[in-house]
Structure 1
Amino acid sequence: MAEEQPKKDLRIKSHVYDGMVRSPNRAMMRATGMTDADFKKPLVGIISAWAENTPCNMHLHDFGNVAKASVQDAGGWPVSFGTITVSDGIAMGTPGMNYSLPSRDIIADSVETAVGGHNCDALITIGGCDKNMPGSLIGMANADIPAIFVYGGTISPGKLDGKDIDLISVFEAVGQWNNGDMSAEEVRAIECNACPGPGGCGGMYTANTMASAIEALGMSLPGSANHPANTAAKKQDVADAGQAVLNLLEKNIRPSDILTRDAFENALTLVMALGGSTNSTLHLLAIAHAANVDLTLEDFNTFQKKVPHIADLKPSGQYVFEDLYNAGGVSAVLKYLYENGYIHGDCLTVTGKTMAENLATVPSLKPGQKVIMPLDHPKRPDGPLIILKGNLASEGAVVKVSGVKKRHHEGPAKVFNNEEDAIEAVLANKVVDGDVLVVRFVGPKGGPGMPEMLSLSGILVGKGQGESVALLTDGRFSGGSHGLVVGHIAPEAQDAGNIAYLHDGDTVVIDIDTRELTMKVSDEELAKRKAATTIPPLYTRGVLGKYAHLVSSSAKGAVTDFWKKNE
């Protein structure tokens, strides 16, 4: 079990500015606009992961101002901060991708530092994409002051020739172009129409997966996960957070009261039911670590076996996240699961009420909707995220099988030490049906930063090889990746996992039914290869160097403070 942490003193910290002994502090605060009356108000930190170069986050600055006004109206004193963000969609397929996962922990540290260093009494964070959302939750758990997360909302789908398209359509179009199935002009048309405005990527990709999981955890207001970015309902989410966070402060409800084992079980249930991203394994493990909740990779297999996949959402289904909103939304799915015994109703949430109390007033799924299938006639009878183990992944690996018909793949390895060389081989038609394409030394330490392989997986799907070629890596995949892809192989190559000793031509076995990931190489041969192989040194410079030396295994959530467990 996780170690117990002492409860933190929750007396209103901003009152340190009240009284003559704190005159220097008050002098500085007066310069920011505070008056004598304001010194008696709770100090509420508002942290927005705003950035101009990504549709996921470009609208969050305005939402920060809405939150600030709502806190003022509710009787608090708002203090706005910013934090960095890295958009996976912008960084994908470039050296910038190495900074994506590390940004999660940088965001978490900056959230904790900002509110801790300025003695904030409560916290609202506003995030819009893959890493600033779990980063916010990790920071909240570590700070453990009353806190609410607000999702910036999903993007509306792009439209082309009467069909919904999105960012993943662009990656797959490149593969279709390479295969001769699409012209360069058609690719450009998809590119120009895929992202019509603000919001997180529109399918059941990582941003929408984490927004859903955070609502299931009880850390966002009901409906926050599913209101699209450009709606009045989303703006109202932000406005409601001001009053709600002061209510939490008044009732002394903190993340440690909400982020319980049962809350994480609710999140696992919803992720399986909706067919969420493989990245949810990393992020839920990391949030649980910060919250001192005992959660392991094996828990994902436990819930995979008992929770049906009921959402027909992209990347493997037909619909986008906005369609789910129109069908009733994430709250309606939670209500449906709760009514059928899948959700713990007694978990406390940021409303100050239990999950069951929240769901009692939520409308049910709309009659005739087609996004969510009945539990007795699901998309598949169990969840789509499966943890594989074997001599190629003794700590575990993650495969997402939604939409994948193949249950067993056995073939020769074609091994690459970076994604660029693997992409070149695929585009040159050097990877053929039946192959097992392996990209290694791209794990948390080896990348460093565990980059995603969406470019590679998207090209394979576009070329029609999404299931005929298996793709394995100690790196990650985008929530938009689909096909026969296995990621998060641990131990990673940089940690001398057996993937480091895989050779071209070795037979690799992937079996969904037995949950097996093995290489047909004898122990004797492996010992010879280990003796003859030199693992490259860790990266040593700057942020990525720090990350490479601190980060834990992906099987532990790739957290950067795992050393706490070993004191």
Structure 2
Amino acid sequence: MRSDIMKTGLGRAPSRALLKAMGITNEEIERPLIGIANSANELVPGHVHLDKIVEAVKAGIRMAGGTPLEFSTIGVCDGLAMGHAGMKYSLASRELIADSVEIMAMAHPFDGLVLVPNCDKIVPGMLMAALRLNIPAVVISGGPMMTGRFKGKKADLITVFEAVGKVKADDMSLEELAVLEEKSCPGCGSCAGMFTANSMNCLTEALGLGLPGNGTIPAVEAARIRLAKKAGMKVMDLVSRNITPRDIATLEAFKNAIAVDMALGCSTNTVLHVPAIAREAGLQVDLNLFDEISARTPHICSLSPAGPNHLEDLDAAGGVQAVLKQLVEGGLANPEVLTVTGEKLEKNLEDAVITDSGVIRPLINPHSPFGGIAIIRGNLAPDGAVVKQSAVDPSMLKNKGIARVFDSEETAIEAILDGRIKPGNIVVIRYEGPRGGPGMREMLNPTSALAGMGLDRQVALITDGRFSGGTRGAAIGHVSPEAAHGGLIAFVKDGDEIEINIPEKRMDLLISDEELARRKTAWNPPEPRITSGYLARYAAQVTSAAQGAITIDKKSAG
């Protein structure tokens, strides 16, 4: 066992003494030691209940003859960090989470790992660690939040974000907003729509590193606790068979996950996280692969914010396994890949069935013949940009408008809420990329304000920052190269004409080469916004969004 180097033999008597100081018996020391990375805290609704999930995991490990040893990781709530400097730390926390799990598992050589995340950045951070360490591991998420109800309709966190714009547009009173605040998020779990957290939890299942049901079983259901116990038992099976994450997360498995991404209409943030996760396995997953898979994979599930359904509806309709079965039957996913069940995907899918074809449509009757995400290029984004095309109104798929340029999210949201953005404008928010932000903030506030004010069918938004999975409308993010690197977005001026053509996957600034050359000559790179602490180090090491916004040691990278 891997843990023997820490606990076995004469020279390890001091280590055994330390374990016994915590009440651990000789019998427990002799068993496989399983580390549990718990990201529970009292700040994140998706994580506030993870202590209960972890207790169930421990029960499963003990039932299967192992000894669980729990440790903690950090977790940022994107909703609470939204719209202020705190959001700069969200994406950057992904690398710290991966590093912290690596540190604990290398300092204390576990025989296996169970990773317990739920929300944005924590899921990909833990997946990155699992593939980096490559010891037997299972991921078990905390599950999605149930949907709220307001005035007889479904409501979720995005309903509240968009309500701010409705209040500004006099379409909702402050009293109604106060009621909505009480009703929209009824309890624990990752926010109820197909936002980034649930996107990544579903893709974890599709990748094979989470058990069937990981992405969709609601947080409050007993089935989630049972699944956690199964995860604890299953990691012991993986340890005994020495099945590791890289045995499971092969290139074919990543292709399966991206196909599910396109079928579900997941968050654009998956285009940042999946390449970063794959890189830890020594695999190259780039924007071109997303583009190729999107072109052949129909969008068959319309989930909030693009459509009326939520994760509880997807779960009741058959969940990720039912989606995968349909993709396999259509030749769009590989059934031969291994999963953490210890079986190939085709075995897992034997009992999968679609129980509601309104939620999971057949491939012959999709919402769109193309995937939920499109990769946009053109002179404004030669290295690529990303749009959740499944959440764009058809009238905005082709658009030519006048640029309104802002050098920060704060100035843009102020202009939107003050009524200074008009139909036909294209809002450009720059210097919010991985390096320029730093931290590549999500732009949910401005996109929700536009939607709430009824402008999402008349105004597009372009940024070198990123969007929440809750964003809808013609919102194009991840523009690469970013402004801070001298990308073309740095040279856009108020009044410029921009042409967007999502079906043709292009986005172009319509100015002459001569005018562009003049602007470049007059441009000076901006001074760093943050010059000390973690974000200063992050900005110095982070790559572009097109490369997954990973951090590298620039010196060692040459």
TM band (smaller chain): over 0.9
The residue number in structure 1 matching 2:377 is 389
Give 1:369 shift: 4.1
Q: Distance in 1 between matches of 2:471 and 2:212?
A: 28
Q: Distance in 2 between matches of 1:345 and 1:369?
A: 22
1:186 match: secondary structure: helix
1:371 counterpart = 2:359? yes
TM-score, length basis structure 2: 0.97
Mean alpha-carbon deviation: is it higher for 50-59 or for 64-73?
64-73
The residue number in structure 2 matching 1:303 is 293
Q: Equivalent pairs: percent with the same residue? A: 44
On the 8 A contact 1:15/1:39 being kept in 2, the answer is no
The residue number in structure 1 matching 2:536 is 545
1:503 counterpart = 2:493? yes
The residue number in structure 2 matching 1:56 is 46
On the 8 A contact 2:44/2:75 being kept in 1, the answer is no
On the 8 A contact 1:172/1:461 being kept in 2, the answer is yes
Query: What amino acid is the match of 1:494?
Result: A
1:561 counterpart = 2:549? no
* 1:442-453 correspondence to structure 2 within 5 Å: 442-453=432-443
Number of residues of Structure 1 aligned to a counterpart in Structure 2: 555
For 1:473, which of 427, 446, 463 is the aligned residue?
A: 463
Give 1:272 shift: 0.3
The residue number in structure 1 matching 2:3 is 13
* 1:171-210 correspondence to structure 2 within 5 Å: 171-210=161-200
Q: Distance in 1 between matches of 2:312 and 2:212?
A: 16
On the 8 A contact 1:158/1:164 being kept in 2, the answer is yes
1:135 counterpart = 2:125? yes
On the 8 A contact 1:443/1:494 being kept in 2, the answer is yes
1:34 counterpart = 2:24? yes
Give 1:489 shift: 0.3
* 1:209-228 correspondence to structure 2 within 5 Å: 209-228=199-218
The residue number in structure 2 matching 1:47 is 37
Query: What amino acid is the match of 1:44?
Result: I
Q: Distance in 1 between matches of 2:555 and 2:39?
A: 27
1:102 counterpart = 2:92? yes
Give 1:328 shift: 1.6
Give 1:407 shift: 2.3
Mean alpha-carbon deviation: is it higher for 161-170 or for 58-67?
58-67
The residue number in structure 1 matching 2:474 is 484
Give 1:512 shift: 1.2
Mean alpha-carbon deviation: is it higher for 62-71 or for 373-382?
62-71
1:45 match: secondary structure: strand
The residue number in structure 2 matching 1:8 is none
Give 1:54 shift: 2.0
The residue number in structure 2 matching 1:287 is 277
Query: What amino acid is the match of 1:38?
Result: E
Query: What amino acid is the match of 1:553?
Result: S
On the 8 A contact 1:14/1:43 being kept in 2, the answer is no
The alignment's C-alpha RMSD in Å is: 1.4
The residue number in structure 2 matching 1:5 is none
Query: What amino acid is the match of 1:387?
Result: I
Q: Distance in 1 between matches of 2:372 and 2:185?
A: 27
Q: Distance in 1 between matches of 2:374 and 2:357?
A: 28
Query: What amino acid is the match of 1:215?
Result: E
Query: What amino acid is the match of 1:390?
Result: G
The residue number in structure 2 matching 1:327 is 317
Q: Distance in 1 between matches of 2:344 and 2:555?
A: 31
Give 1:75 shift: 1.2
Query: What amino acid is the match of 1:265?
Result: K
TM-score, length basis structure 1: 0.96
Q: Distance in 2 between matches of 1:540 and 1:122?
A: 39
Give 1:506 shift: 1.1
On the 8 A contact 2:261/2:372 being kept in 1, the answer is no
Give 1:565 shift: 9.2
- Deviation string 1:370-417 (CA, Å, 9 cap, x unpaired) is 111121111011112111112111110001111420221111111001
Give 1:63 shift: 1.3
Mean alpha-carbon deviation: is it higher for 294-303 or for 17-26?
17-26
Q: Distance in 1 between matches of 2:101 and 2:227?
A: 21
**Consecutive unaligned residues in structure 1, runs of 5 or more:** 1-10
